[in-house]
Copies of this chain bind each other. A is one copy, B any other.
């Protein structure tokens, strides 16, 4: 139970999977991926199976309303129903330097491989710098062979440009080196504000891909309730954003 000076995955509950799909929703541009993944995990009543602590996350603890503290962390949730198996990666923060991101990502991939995972969906926002009433969902895949299957659900390939920064990119890049396959799903978003609308479009597509049903009613409500936490998160992210990470890239 002793954490040392490297990323530490604290398994809280053993849950067996055959071939789960990983869904990553860590904070990034417009919080699009985080909102979508978090909402789905809550609606599905997914089970908390592990917590991730890292010396590469900010050296801070969060003060909770009930008077207690907890470390900044990522949390992993599992969901199983018939032949649908999903593992969600959610959390407060992600590592912000390359060395750190590689260390954390490799630790996570070790764990996901041990769970039997072979496919990863990473979620994010694709910054366009303008407001869009009907944001589209863009995709970028590790392998060409995945694209046709994705296009059937309305995901658009070959239009996104530039680079994918952080966990959404590295889980796919390092995963690919391990022969895992994956797709980054990006909701178009302005980039300068939290975008629940883009998250909704992303959620719809994700539901089809994962063959699950999730109501969207509580999404807006949940965002409002989380506003205080959201403000804190935005501050943290602002502080953490490196000099070369422009809003025009997705994360």
Contact = CB atoms under 8 A, between A and B. Distances in A.
B178 A2 contact: yes
A8 to B, nearest CB: 8
Contact of A244 (B58, B169, B243): B58
Interface string A89-120: 00000000111011100100000000000000
Given A141-B68, A143-B68, A144-B68, A102 B2 contact: no
Interface stretch (A37-45, A159-167, A203-211): A159-167
Q: Count copies of this chain in the complex.
A: 4
A235 B244 CA distance: 8
Q: Is the interface of A mostly helix, strand, loop or mixed?
A: mixed
A2 B177 contact: yes
Interface in A234-248: 235-236, 238-240, 243-246
A172 interface: yes
Interface residues of A, number: 69
A139 interface: yes
Nearest to A4: B106
A70 B173 contact: yes
Given A98-B55, A98-B56, A174 B3 contact: yes
Contacts of A46: none
Contacts of A178: 1-2
Contacts of A1: 177-179
